[in-house]
Structure 1
Amino acid sequence: MNKNILILFSLITLSLISCNNKSKNDDPVILVTENDNEINTAINKARFAFGQFEKAFIENQETNAYSYFSIKEGFPTKDGGVEHMWVSELTYDGTNFTGVLVNDPQYDTKVQYGDTVTVDKDRISDWTYFENSSNLTYGGYTVRVFVDRMSDNEKAAFLRESGYEFAPLSE
């Protein structure tokens, strides 16, 4: 793998959030360079706003106002890169989130599809959840960058198939 291309993203959120029956291998994978400023900014914003995710997750235990909580984490690859994959079916012990890896790694990582993993907060690259009453999607910082890079036709198809309607971002 070219050392300039160190970050691999999957848009598994498409199938997670739309709740369709795509297999794990149907998820689009997007290569980006480690110096992609838009993606790096999105990752930093997602990390900065992660408290919003934690708060919603905790409140949801009582209110059931939200669904489809997912965290994207960067997992190191053996060749020195990073593969960003989604973790879902989350639990929270007050300190750590644990969940199931819902992507099939494209490169050699220490994790595989279906593995239970504890999220490393220092490697979080994105997060999402849905508000049940409005179907708004919260988070999705990197997803928004990829959607913005799509052609108008691709964007329309993505939004239609995924059911995404993005809530305003917390800055």
Structure 2
Amino acid sequence: MADADKPTTYTPNILWLDGSDPEMATAVSVAQRAFDQYREALERAARAVEDCGVKVFFPSRHAPTTGEHMWVNEVTFGPDGMTGTLCNDPGWLRGLACGDRVPFTIDRVSDWFYVSGGVLHGGFTLKVLFRQYTPEQFAECRSDPPACYLADWYDQQRADRSA
């Protein structure tokens, strides 16, 4: 990230990553390859989907290889890509706000999840991040979607590590 683009102060609820984590890169690749599962769940069984979202990369206009990954919901599928409603206010990107309808293509998808029957499907990058969280860090987001759907999974990961 270019120094001019990155904030100089702490920004709550934003995790800064430099893009060099191979496990995260693999998770993004898997999410893109498996995206049809998300689309099929929403198109075939939308009533059974209790919650869902797509994490999308929004590039900086000044440095297109840097940007923010933000959640989008209410996704509609078109012949040239998708459109959804932005669920986050950006931490430092200009020109976007929570509630904006935003277009995107599969190459900008970095993750997705849907919940059906109380079970989370997808969440590939979430699992990478949450495995690295301390119990205190996870406690900050434990009650909120999508973390709340992975609380039992997180607890099991911690138990497996200490066994």
Contact 2:68-2:93 at 8 Å conserved across structures: no
Partner of 1:68: 51
Q: Which amino acid in the other structure matches residue 140 of structure 1? A: G
Which of 133, 141, 145 lines up with 1:150 in the alignment? 133
- How many equivalent residue pairs? 144
Which of 63, 85, 89 lines up with 2:74 in the alignment? 89
How much has 1:68 moved relative to structure 2?
2.0
Distance 1:114 1:156, change over 3 A: closer
What is the distance in 2 between the residues matched to 1:108 and 1:159?
26
How much has 1:46 moved relative to structure 2?
0.6
How much has 1:95 moved relative to structure 2?
5.8
What is the distance in 2 between the residues matched to 1:167 and 1:93?
36
What is the distance in 2 between the residues matched to 1:59 and 1:46?
19
Determine whether 1:138 maps to 2:121.
yes
How much has 1:67 moved relative to structure 2?
2.6
Contact 1:68-1:88 at 8 Å conserved across structures: no
What is the distance in 2 between the residues matched to 1:113 and 1:160?
21
Contact 1:75-1:82 at 8 Å conserved across structures: yes
- What whole-Å deviation, never above 9, does each CA across 1:5-31 have from its counterpart, x for those lacking one? 98xxxxxxxxxxxxxxxxxx9x71100
1:10-21 correspondence runs (5 A)? none
Distance 1:143 1:105, change over 3 A: same
Q: Which amino acid in the other structure matches residue 75 of structure 2? A: L
- What whole-Å deviation, never above 9, does each CA across 1:102-149 have from its counterpart, x for those lacking one? 111112344322210122211100011110x2x111111111111101
What is the distance in 1 between the residues matched to 2:152 and 2:136?
21
Partner of 1:42: 27
Which of 109, 120, 124 lines up with 2:109 in the alignment? 124
Distance 1:89 1:44, change over 3 A: same
What is the distance in 1 between the residues matched to 2:80 and 2:152?
26
Determine whether 1:53 maps to 2:38.
yes
* Matched-pair identity in %: 29
Q: TM-score, normalised by structure 1?
A: 0.71
Q: TM-score, normalised by structure 2?
A: 0.74
What is the distance in 1 between the residues matched to 2:79 and 2:143?
36
Q: Which amino acid in the other structure matches residue 112 of structure 2? A: W
In structure 2, runs of 5+ residues without a counterpart are: 154-163
What is the distance in 2 between the residues matched to 1:108 and 1:157?
24
How much has 1:163 moved relative to structure 2?
2.3
Contact 1:90-1:99 at 8 Å conserved across structures: yes
